[in-house]
Structure 1
Amino acid sequence: LYHSVEEYEDTWIDDSQSKVDSLLRLGTINFSFVRLGCPKRLYKSFVDTDAKHNVEGLLDKCHSFPQSEQISLPRPPLPFLDIPLVPRPLLPLPREATIAEFSTTIPSPFVMVATRRSLYDSYLSKHGGSSNAYTETEYTCYHFEVKREFLNGALRRFSQFFISPLVKMEAMEREVLQSDACRLQQLQCHTSAHNHPLNRFFWGNKKSLVDAMEKGINLREQILKLYKDYYHGGLMKLVIIGGESLDVLESWVVELFGAVKKGPQANPVFTVESPIWKSGKVYKLEAVKDVHILDLLWTLPCLHQEYLKKPEDYLAHLLGHEGRGSLHSFLKTRGWATSLSAGVGDEGIYRSSIAYVFIVSIHLTDSGVEKIFDIIGFVYQYLKLLRQDSPQEWIFNELQNIGNMDFRFAEEQPQDDYAAELAENMHFYPPEHVIYGEYVYKTWDEQLLKQVLGFFVPENMRVDVVSKSFLKSEDFQYEPWFGSRYIEEDIPQNLMELWRNPPEIDASLHLPSKNEFIPSDFSIRTSDACVDDFANSTSPICIVDEALIKFWYKPDSTFKVPRASTYFRISMKGGYADLKSCVLSELFIHLLKDELNEITYQASVAKLETSVSYVGDMLELKVYGFNEKLPLLLSKFFSVSKSFIPTDDKFKVIKEDRKRALKNANMKPLSHATYLRLQVLCESFYDVDEKLHCLNDLFLDDLVAFIPELLSQLYVEGLCHGNLSKEEAISISNIFKMNFPVKPLPIELRHAELVICFPTDANLVRDASVKNKSDTNSVVELYFQIEQDFGMESMKLKALIDLFDEIVEEPFFNQLRTKEQLGYVVQCSPRVTYRVFGFCFCIQSSEYNPVYLQGRIDNFLNGLEVLLDGLDGDSFENYKNGLMAKLLEKDPSLTYESNRLWNQIVEKRYIFDMSEKEAEELRNISKHDVVEWYKTYLKPPSPKCRRLLIRVWGCNTDLKDAEALDQSVQVITDPVAFKKQSNSKDTLQSGEK
């Protein structure tokens, strides 16, 4: 049954069929070693055809991470399991939780807070794990993660959901209450052909399920029929990533999933002959936000069987390109668009076994929304260019090289993401390409590309426009489920004929140039690092410490991939000194990003990514990816930046885009609540409405006069981490110094954020209405301010906060969401605001007003002491061990490690082994410590219990209900006045931010 093991030390799966055949043999249980970056992964792939095992069709991927010095693997990560299941095509499914709610072999009810499914969730929570699920149009994915030694117990509970689900009506009724609507794409479904599978309500809400029950439809019977027809081994794919040996993992699968019923292994085949949408139509949808979006959609045949050729990706690469000669660059130059993307959508309605839907999505300016038909005309000019120049094999070769190198040196993913990815891939790729299928470009097929291009014609195009500019129309129709207002119009026939064969192609449109950022040197700097002083260091070391720049360096000795990360934070003179300076600085950063876009986009295609953001008075630049061309990109970036002066045309476009972004800020109640909390907490916080008012009065001359002063004095702190030598890192720091030979910005002129220290036993409330006046969701966020983070001195306090979160998260969710059904979002978590610890409890609900939600949170908090006191010793130790496992989990990738190190630098802690130090503190924490922490910081009338209650009132609630407050409550109506009366905490001991 078992094939002999042979390790391929430096082998990676490529498109060579012979190599794949040597690694995978179907019909038996085989071992294979595959190198994906570092560390090496051990895979076991099998289809068990032995009847005695009774796991027919359950194609399994077992990933073992044994602790072995011989292959130098880090400690095993958290085991993770993922099963996607294939239901009927495009069937509107009940929520995944309904199937996983009950099973006959798990006793019900359970003790304490764990009832029914809660026992499963509680088991995971106590052992450092969690679970989730999601549904697409053709499959559902269930998954969990848990600490290694408790994988078997979790699997025992999990497997029963698919062997003997009860599906009680109580679970169905609760399902009806907690599912809030998702409106995305529903208009496209509503306006599709009546006989097409898309023509239905996909997302499900209270109305859709209640209506079904009122019509006498037995939902439980429908769910059980779905389970009977599709939840069988033939359509199930199982992925387990664990630390046990492959033999052990396989034995668990046979034992625990052997009772899963059998079924045919072939996926259902669906054919639909009718087109999805009517030809020659444009649909104008009224937007909620202030946006203008043009979407062009073409229906293609399902191309999944052509994954070795990827014709849709070739076309997406060209139509979505952002370099010179591209549609994106052309439309931006004319001031009509701010962004453009292209490709087959990832959602199931766009990528299914029935059809692929290719989308070109363009975010328009105010002038662009007046030129929609002109823009469509230029899209068809570019399509004519692609036909006229014929498909280019050199472009395919570039994509092939990038795919090969991206796979060959792929970074480790978090195990939960990786398991989900493999489980989905097993439905779509043959076994030999489950891992490699999404990367591979094997066969150049010019004829296939020409055939696919043939579908990009006006008769096969749907046009959607999303905007607020249709408000004056009286010809609205209403989408029945969400009530969205839209207009359906005919496209003039003369335009359809013009687009079919444009008479000319604008000279500005052309194919992209060859990509200079594609690397060819993948050598590893191992030999350099071994003789270097930094070889065994787990922390970065400061290699440059000058008045202008402080630069940290750490070579990679763990992952051994040709990748590197280089991060900068550049403090600029007066960038956050006042409201006007803040708005001008933001304009400068966005205009600079726009100027550099053609360069950074080409690099991103070659997997060398760039991130530019604005933090306080600082420009933050992150460049990460393959290291060979990283210095080239940085040289180009700083060379452009040092002499950049924006033009009036670009200024107007970016100003308009920033105005739109400020108008759209806080449209979501959850983000609005966070904004209101930070507005109270942070001393230097500029209101979005004030920023918008200031922006309206700014012009190009203001910015041109501001830039030289902004860049006249700078201070930089940076990190270089990865496959680079010390000399290369110093050279990178010199790139900045050569381009910006300016005076250093002294520490007293650098912005330091201050956080307001709430008064003793503060009980503060801030109320606001939802910004979107049709949003029924209300949000309550209860924030407790704890103490300032003093680094090592605060390590025990941080461990207590994290352990409290580990213990309370599941009971809070279980009580207020699962049992009381208050809302879809019920969560609690620690907060660290500029080095000040806090803790938040949050609920979003469309059914209850904020006063009621606040009362339910308070009721839960009042019972916490009983819950904590009732924890037995074993349960408490399990929570500690689960948190310790998370803290001690190794970094999964070089980029993850870079971000962890960078966070310590920008927060000025410089405790690069903070997780290990927190784990050490955690070992000595007792249950008594947690109870005392709760009494001190979260339970009134403790003087250190300082509360800030944020309440965002939905459109279906009455803000007048906020007036009935206890006398001890201080209402914040003017955050600026409140902060002037309060004390501030300098969050950084050095005075820097």
Structure 2
Amino acid sequence: MTTSLKLENSSFFTLANGLRVMLCHIDDIDTSYVSMSVKSGHFYDPGSCQGLSHLLEHVMFLGSRHLPKANSVNDLIESCGGSINAWTGTEYANYHFNCYSHSLKETLPAFADMLRLPLMDPDALDKEIQAIDAEFQFKRKDDLRRLYQIHKETCNPAHPFSKFSVGNAEIFKSVPLATLHSMLQQFHQQYYVASNMCLCIFSSLPKDEVKAIIGQSFSSMKAGSEAPSDWPELYQAEQLGVQINIVPLQAARRMIVTFAMPGLHHDYRTKSLNYISHLLGDEGEGSLLAFLKARNWVTNLIAGSGIEGEDFKDFNVNFQLTQLGLEHRAEILLALFSYIRLLYASLDDPWRYEEKAQLAALAYQYEDNPKLLNVVCDYSQYLFCYSFDEIPQLRSTIDCFDRECIENSLSYMVPGRMRIKTIAPEMDTDKVCAHYDAHYQMSTLPEEMLNALQSPPDIKNIFLPPPNPYLGEEYHLTLPEDGYDTPQQIFCSEGKRCWFAQDHQFHIPKGDIYISFDSAPFCESLTAMAAKRIWLAALNDHLQSKYYRAEIAGLHYRIYGHQAGFSLHTRGFTNQQTLLASQLLSAIHEFIPKPESFEQLKSRQIQNLQNSLLNKPTNRLFSRLSVLIQRNTQAPVNLLKAVQDCTYEQLLSYRTEAFKSYYLESFMHGNWSSEEAIHFGQHLDQSCPHANGAPLSRAVTQLPVGESRFHEVRCEHDDAAVVLYLQAPSTNLLDTAMCMILEQMLAAPFFNVLRTEKQLGYVVGTGYVPHNQHPGISFYIQSPSHGPKELLHEMTTFLFEQLQEIEFYRFYWSTIQQNLLKQLEERDLSMSMKSQRLWVSLGMNDLQFNRNTLLAECVSKLTFEDIQAYATKLANRELFGELVLFASGKFSPMETDPSTTLNDIAEFKRNTAYFTA
């Protein structure tokens, strides 16, 4: 069964001190989710110390009266099978955690103690300031952060949104330490009070038991009063009807049209902004997007996003522009306002609203397991905005057509309330924003443009969407059949294998279909891979408007490349899914890009690859790690040249060769009968007559044991970064289990020592990293203050010392073992998760579909002495292959022995040994 998140029967109450509480009982979960929202976001920062609320959020974890050690609440919650985190937003700060439900009586009082009685040790303040500054420095080259700061500088300076929300060392250290500590204490005393906080808990424990724990934990909190929120208007008159030019770091071209509105997003009955977004963001034939794409002006459109608060909402229409579109912005705006006029006309036909409501009702009724931690955080904040009676209705779909309400929302979508941000490298600018050094310019829109937009032309190629042909009249469940609860082979020939498993667990009318094509001609060279990349982009572009109606009716699809070729994945309602899959298969075999669209599609891929080269250093290093370890994965820097050089004739040639012979494997899982699955398998056989090849190897590089190999990745970024990858000797159960165990053991101390104590950088962590299911462990740091040589030295010193002193972890072994067993034994949380797990098992040729069960058995039998022995071999470099990837940033490169340095990727791949897969 899926977890049922129906909130209509939630309990609501207010403690005597004013703390508002929502308690939702959810059956069939063994984890509780807790969130506390505090009306103390950066809007409440003092002007003299902007970012103070963010600093306080960090300081809250430095110990409390009953748990005085820093981060002891984290340790407690981790020992109870969960994790804790926090964030600071505009109006609210939020603290949230999850844990085993039976541990709630232990964790909730500790959580309350942290919020009520933080110690705020002044001696620890400096490290938290450094941590925030590292976060700030890390984001200085993030285009979204730069855009956000320009937004702040071009709104009403009297509105608290204009404040710098993050904070940095320069701000905090401009205040004497004693004064800063006093400001933190005063801020906490004023805002961290019961009447200014709201608590939400999801748990399977009996409600009365949870209520008692809440009362014991929070009744002694000071009452206080709720913080005011009577802000001025977000924008002054001269900040509307404006054009803002912004020069980005990445090679992006965008136009964001913002309509300034009051807090209309709080309308939960009509949900007028959702309806407007639904129509404006339509991608089907006749849509605004389809019209603009046909002219090669835009490549994408997103409607409805934008900042929002208690009494304001930005409604954005975000256009991804082509170079030609940048030159035709005036025409794009005319088309936008022409479509907005059509939205008024749609109010004469309420069936479109009712169809949208039906789609929302279906999505709600058959919702896959939502991320409960995200939802509990949302609801703790909603307690500030809605009454107890209103809150249960927020997720339900009692949409109510109200013409007057929708017209009111549309009345704000006029030229005079518009702000246009144009983001492109070639824009004129005359200002530099604070903190992020982004160049921009704000100017008033010409009067003649505003007048023209008041009376846009009718455009015959733009029209409102017709009724959705993929919306089924009924969604029924198929009767379960014996023998199909695990994948069974329903068709097999020389070049095809088709599998089917029926859903016996979730009982919803949904399913997944995977179809993978292994095609050697698409993998034989960089040029072939470039041709595949452009062809897949062209295919997806061609299908976007044609099958958009299926997408919004809950029938989703992806066509994507992989190491051995490409795959088609459909998911969602089983009603008409085989029809959609069949239509997509026909398109895959028949579609040939037009010569006139080839160059623009190619230029898009060039821009995407160029932007990937501007990713943060750690992202670049992990991307390169996959390239070096997986035989048929290629580096963006090499693919870029191949895409640039690829011709239309080469694309056609490789596509033709790819479909002459290939290997096909499919898997169908969900609410179908075996008869339907067999019928679809037969259709696949007839539709794919050239599926007569052999599966291609997913070979993995075999790194030499006990020797380090080095590889430098050149990045356009000042930070240095290092990734140390340790490759297990095999894929057997013991090596896989030991990688998982050691990564979990070392994760917290690695972070605490190298980030918290030594302050080496903001991005510090570990990960269990399987490549084609071959296990490995990674350790990584990105640093603005230390070069790669120092970073690697600190990493290897830490690892050697910890592995040599593994006895220290004996006390933690039981908890780590329990947490790992919980992960391995955890049931599939949604049908799609189960489908993916079974599909991966088929790819590994694990036809018992029980690898996690076997891993759990292996972990349960391990003793701490087994781990000691394994760790000793690892420390002595007797087991694992080692690869060090580094980016130098502004620092001197690490000097490495030429004999152990990988410079030429292609040469390395030709000469290296491989594990077979």
Q: TM-score, normalised by structure 1?
A: 0.86
Other structure's SS at 1:743 match:
coil
Q: Which residue of the partner structure matches residue 10 of structure 2?
A: 45
Q: Which residue of the partner structure matches residue 834 of structure 2?
A: 897
CA distance in 2, matches of 1:682, 1:641: 26
Q: Which residue of the partner structure matches residue 98 of structure 1?
A: 58
**Pair 1:936–1:599, CA change in 2 (3 A):** farther
Q: CA deviation at 1:605?
A: 1.2
Q: Which residue of the partner structure matches residue 534 of structure 1?
A: 483
CA distance in 2, matches of 1:130, 1:406: 29
Q: CA deviation at 1:846?
A: 1.5
Deviates more, 1:327-336 or 1:126-135: 126-135
Q: CA deviation at 1:395?
A: 1.3
Partner amino acid, structure 1, of 2:908: F
Q: Is the 8 A contact 2:363 2:554 kept in 1?
A: yes
Q: Is the 8 A contact 1:572 1:745 kept in 2?
A: no
Other structure's SS at 1:469 match:
coil
CA distance in 1, matches of 2:746, 2:862: 16
**Pair 1:683–1:628, CA change in 2 (3 A):** closer
Corresponding residue to 1:776 among 711, 718, 734: 718
Q: Percent identity?
A: 21
Q: Which residue of the partner structure matches residue 135 of structure 1?
A: 88
Partner amino acid, structure 1, of 2:454: R
CA distance in 1, matches of 2:367, 2:714: 46
CA distance in 2, matches of 1:251, 1:957: 57
Q: Which residue of the partner structure matches residue 241 of structure 2?
A: 280
Q: CA deviation at 1:507?
A: 0.9
Unmatched segments (≥5 aa) in structure 1: 1-35, 66-72, 109-115, 989-993
**Pair 1:936–1:282, CA change in 2 (3 A):** same
CA distance in 1, matches of 2:662, 2:880: 41
CA distance in 2, matches of 1:154, 1:969: 53
Corresponding residue to 1:634 among 581, 595, 617: 581
Partner amino acid, structure 1, of 2:577: L
Q: Is the 8 A contact 2:708 2:883 kept in 1?
A: yes
CA distance in 1, matches of 2:559, 2:228: 45
Q: Which residue of the partner structure matches residue 549 of structure 1?
A: 496
CA distance in 2, matches of 1:820, 1:574: 50
| Residue-pair matches, total | 899
> After superposition, what is the alpha-carbon deviation per residue over 1:504-559, rounded to whole angstroms, capped at 9, x for unaligned?
2121111011111222222222xx20xx2236x3x322222233432222222222
**Pair 1:337–1:405, CA change in 2 (3 A):** same
Corresponding residue to 1:257 among 218, 222, 242: 218
Q: CA deviation at 1:920?
A: 1.0
Q: Which residue of the partner structure matches residue 9 of structure 1?
A: none
Q: Is the 8 A contact 1:784 1:947 kept in 2?
A: yes
1:828 maps to 2:766: yes
> After superposition, what is the alpha-carbon deviation per residue over 1:76-113, rounded to whole angstroms, capped at 9, x for unaligned?
432222222222573443146424224443344xxxxx
Partner amino acid, structure 2, of 1:839: I
CA distance in 2, matches of 1:872, 1:787: 25
> After superposition, what is the alpha-carbon deviation per residue over 1:818-858, rounded to whole angstroms, capped at 9, x for unaligned?
22222221111111112322111111122222222112212
Unmatched segments (≥5 aa) in structure 2: 45-50, 140-144
Q: Which residue of the partner structure matches residue 929 of structure 1?
A: 866
Q: Which residue of the partner structure matches residue 155 of structure 2?
A: 192
CA distance in 1, matches of 2:493, 2:21: 58
CA distance in 1, matches of 2:471, 2:196: 40
> After superposition, what is the alpha-carbon deviation per residue over 1:422-471, rounded to whole angstroms, capped at 9, x for unaligned?
3344344443453541453522111222222121122111111111223x
Q: TM-score, normalised by structure 2?
A: 0.93
Summarize the alignment of residues 522-601 of structure 1 with structure 2, pairs less than 5 Å apart: 522-525=475-478, 528-529=479-480, 532-534=481-483, 537=485, 539-601=486-548
Q: Which residue of the partner structure matches residue 619 of structure 2?
A: 671
Other structure's SS at 1:614 match:
strand
CA distance in 2, matches of 1:512, 1:822: 54
Corresponding residue to 2:892 among 936, 949, 958: 958
Q: Is the 8 A contact 1:97 1:133 kept in 2?
A: yes
CA distance in 1, matches of 2:159, 2:400: 33
Q: Which residue of the partner structure matches residue 84 of structure 1?
A: 37
Corresponding residue to 1:607 among 554, 557, 568: 554
CA distance in 2, matches of 1:467, 1:326: 25
Q: Is the 8 A contact 1:570 1:717 kept in 2?
A: yes
1:946 maps to 2:881: yes
Partner amino acid, structure 2, of 1:140: A
Corresponding residue to 2:417 among 449, 456, 460: 460
Q: Which residue of the partner structure matches residue 56 of structure 1?
A: 18
**Pair 1:556–1:265, CA change in 2 (3 A):** farther
Q: Which residue of the partner structure matches residue 3 of structure 1?
A: none
Q: Which residue of the partner structure matches residue 652 of structure 1?
A: 599
Other structure's SS at 2:522 match:
coil
Q: Which residue of the partner structure matches residue 692 of structure 1?
A: 640
Q: Is the 8 A contact 1:96 1:135 kept in 2?
A: no
CA distance in 2, matches of 1:268, 1:194: 16
Q: Which residue of the partner structure matches residue 681 of structure 1?
A: 629
Q: Which residue of the partner structure matches residue 372 of structure 1?
A: 329
CA distance in 2, matches of 1:434, 1:739: 51
Summarize the alignment of residues 206-221 of structure 1 with structure 2, pairs less than 5 Å apart: 206-211=169-174, 213=175, 218-221=179-182
Q: Which residue of the partner structure matches residue 299 of structure 2?
A: 338
Q: Which residue of the partner structure matches residue 706 of structure 2?
A: 761
**Pair 1:476–1:697, CA change in 2 (3 A):** same
Q: Is the 8 A contact 2:766 2:778 kept in 1?
A: yes
Other structure's SS at 1:915 match:
helix
Q: CA deviation at 1:894?
A: 1.3
> After superposition, what is the alpha-carbon deviation per residue over 1:42-89, rounded to whole angstroms, capped at 9, x for unaligned?
98633446xxx6463331314253xxxxxxx4xx43222222222257
Q: Is the 8 A contact 1:280 1:459 kept in 2?
A: yes
CA distance in 2, matches of 1:605, 1:207: 48
Corresponding residue to 1:484 among 438, 445, 456: 438
Other structure's SS at 1:876 match:
helix
Corresponding residue to 2:757 among 794, 819, 824: 819
CA distance in 2, matches of 1:43, 1:505: 45
Partner amino acid, structure 2, of 1:57: L
Other structure's SS at 2:768 match:
strand
> After superposition, what is the alpha-carbon deviation per residue over 1:672-693, rounded to whole angstroms, capped at 9, x for unaligned?
1112323332333433233222
Corresponding residue to 1:202 among 165, 171, 175: 165
**Pair 1:416–1:38, CA change in 2 (3 A):** closer
Other structure's SS at 2:71 match:
helix
Partner amino acid, structure 2, of 1:172: L
**Pair 1:629–1:264, CA change in 2 (3 A):** farther
Other structure's SS at 1:871 match:
helix
CA distance in 2, matches of 1:458, 1:478: 27
Q: Which residue of the partner structure matches residue 975 of structure 1?
A: 905
Deviates more, 1:862-871 or 1:880-889: 862-871
Q: Which residue of the partner structure matches residue 787 of structure 2?
A: 849
Deviates more, 1:144-153 or 1:335-344: 144-153
Q: Is the 8 A contact 1:54 1:254 kept in 2?
A: no
Q: Is the 8 A contact 2:624 2:635 kept in 1?
A: no
Q: Is the 8 A contact 2:10 2:392 kept in 1?
A: no
**Pair 1:706–1:678, CA change in 2 (3 A):** closer
CA distance in 2, matches of 1:570, 1:917: 30
Q: Is the 8 A contact 2:519 2:565 kept in 1?
A: yes
Corresponding residue to 1:500 among 429, 444, 454: 454
CA distance in 1, matches of 2:791, 2:238: 44
Other structure's SS at 1:79 match:
strand
**Pair 1:641–1:267, CA change in 2 (3 A):** farther
**Pair 1:719–1:208, CA change in 2 (3 A):** farther
Partner amino acid, structure 2, of 1:358: F
Partner amino acid, structure 1, of 2:328: K
